[in-house]
Amino acid sequence: MPNLEARLDRLGITIPEAPKPVASYVPSVAVHSGSLVFISGQLPFEKGKLMATGRVPGQVSIETAQKCARQCVVNGLAALLGEIGSFERLRRVVRLGVFVNAGEGFAEQPKVGNGASDLLVELLGENGRHARAAVGVSSLPLDAPVEIEFTFLVD
Amino acid sequence: MPNLEARLDRLGITIPEAPKPVASYVPSVAVHSGSLVFISGQLPFEKGKLMATGRVPGQVSIETAQKCARQCVVNGLAALLGEIGSFERLRRVVRLGVFVNAGEGFAEQPKVGNGASDLLVELLGENGRHARAAVGVSSLPLDAPVEIEFTFLVD
Amino acid sequence: MPNLEARLDRLGITIPEAPKPVASYVPSVAVHSGSLVFISGQLPFEKGKLMATGRVPGQVSIETAQKCARQCVVNGLAALLGEIGSFERLRRVVRLGVFVNAGEGFAEQPKVGNGASDLLVELLGENGRHARAAVGVSSLPLDAPVEIEFTFLVD
């Protein structure tokens, strides 16, 4: 391994202070052991029906999209429970990939994602905090407004 | 770890039944041990040439996009073989990230993704089942219709 | 595990040669042990301000987008350092997810991503090489031109 500090110096790059957690997600999550569970991209199904369809914010408001993101968490937890049998085995939420059905210039992906992230922290406290990437995509399966994939750490 | 069931109750959230696997991909995959291999996003190259270019479904039909997704699997397996030397070390397909070059309102990402997922199950049986996120993106490298990234579990 | 070679034969599929590494990212990365660190999607903040906003290449040139990608690496390393305390624990860059704010027909995601990938290899040599998926998305948080998420392997 080369000396990273020396190379940073040579390139004139200063590493800023680590970002502070300002929301329900955190800049990073380390997985020290245990098993990872990868959950497929979840859509906001409720009782077998999508809560909403269409683009954010034109056809689906940010508030509704947040509720959809929250419902993706509910469905992601259902998939997790199907895999591990009991939530007692859950140790940590690791990562969320948040895809918002949104066109050019939409900038509020974090707000939408917070619908998911905030619920996870409300449910799991510190262990609910996770790394997250949130982006706007041109289209989603079944014209859903939000899709979220999850990685969990379990015992 | 807080008591998740109690908090779900307090928030009035009922976790639905775990989704049943209805296709070649599954709601979740647990990685219990072994090594993960991360494969870069694969494009549908065949003998050095993209099988198709452009958007789905306007310029590239869903059927062609499915064949492209299938070819991404072939190329992903090639990258895996280059990494691990023999398919005998392959234990499980863990995750697919499926990106379809598709505009507003396109809703058939799952159909396109099935071109990849079905081939993996045809090739690997139960061990070919995987978690998957499929989304429509505004553009892809070289104007490819599909890009797929893979995570495998190996011995 | 079914005999994959036999099934490939039966389906008439020939696995091509593994792709050669032609750039600062590689077709695959195997994670043999150690801990994974997942870093949230990073935006090109410099001293608290986005280096640029808008779409590539109309509002933000490819050159500027490359600089933004490079800055995402700087910020990703900052988040990593906040997590692990010292770069001496860093063993390998595992994966980059590169999201470029770009419309229909944009094909230069790899060039933009190289702004990030090349810096990682410049900094870390062989251990800086990583798997990568680069796609064009319809919009990004705060109208940033690039967002990058990272997975690192640490001791």
How does pLDDT run across C67-93, given as a tens digit for each residue? 999 999 999 999 898 888 888 899 999
Chain A positions touching C82 (Cβ under 8 A) are: 17-19, 27-28
Helix (H, G, I), strand (E, B) or coil at C101: strand
Residue spans of the domains in chain A: they are: 4-154
Phi–psi pair at C78, nearest 5 degrees: -65, -45
* Chain C interface with B: residues with Cβ < 8 Å: 1-2, 4-5, 7-8, 11, 13, 15-19, 25-33, 36, 94-95, 100, 102-110, 130-138, 151
Chain B positions touching C36 (Cβ under 8 A) are: 36
Residue C152 above 80 pLDDT? yes
Chain C positions touching A13 (Cβ under 8 A) are: 74
Rounded to whole angstroms, the Cα distance separating B2 from A124 reads 6
**C39·A27 Cβ contact <8 A:** yes
Q: Name the closest residue on chain B to residue A83, using Cα atoms.
A: B28
pLDDT given at position A63: 98
Rounded to whole angstroms, the Cα distance separating B17 from A79 reads 8
| Third-level CATH fold of A4-154 | 60s Ribosomal Protein L30; Chain: A; (3.30.1330)
CA A94 to chain centre: 9
Closest CA to C3 of A77, A74, A1, B88: B88
Helix (H, G, I), strand (E, B) or coil at C111: helix
Q: Each residue's pLDDT tens digit in chain B (155 positions)?
A: 667 778 888 888 888 776 676 567 777 887 776 789 999 999 999 988 999 999 999 999 999 999 999 999 999 999 898 888 888 899 999 999 999 999 999 999 999 999 999 999 888 888 899 999 999 999 999 999 999 999 999 98
Q: Let me know: does A130 contact A45? Beta carbons within 8 Å.
A: no
Q: What is the pTM of this model?
A: 0.93
* DSSP for residue A3: -
The more confidently predicted of residues C47 and A65 is A65
